[in-house]
Structure 1
């Protein structure tokens, strides 16, 4: 499963998956330091941050924002 951290609600993390489904998991299941907007993936019940995808998404959003304000 791959997805994006949409938000945190107390001890829960809300994730939007690639299939555009919303799932909720316990925040403690995520690695320390994970933030809203981070790309994550799950393998064998372990969640990890996809650093490359997170970086790519942040750069893409920055480019879109710069175009918007020009």
Structure 2
């Protein structure tokens, strides 16, 4: 299983980054409904499935929020 983070959307593609800072373009139609920038995705190549890792996404958003609060307060 591979973990990717949605960096941005460009047209019909989601540009995703892995832990090695390599980028991948995945068609939005292949992703779960409701994905957003910053979401953590679990990609199972063997099964051909992509799912949102809600817990990892929540942790990343919380960490980013704390950093913003620290910078701007």
Q: TM-score range by the shorter chain?
A: over 0.9
Match of 2:62 among 53, 56, 59: 59
Find the aligned partners of 2:13 and 2:27 in 1 and give their Cα distance. 5
Find the aligned partners of 2:7 and 2:24 in 1 and give their Cα distance. 10
Find the aligned partners of 1:69 and 1:26 in 2 and give their Cα distance. 36
Count of aligned residue pairs for this structure pair: 70
Give SS of 2:35's match.
Answer: coil
Structure 1 residues without counterparts, runs of 5 or longer? none
TM-score by length of 2: 0.91
Point out 4+ residue stretches in structure 1 off by more than 6 angstroms.
none
Cα displacement (A) at 1:27: 0.8
Structure 2 residues without counterparts, runs of 5 or longer? none
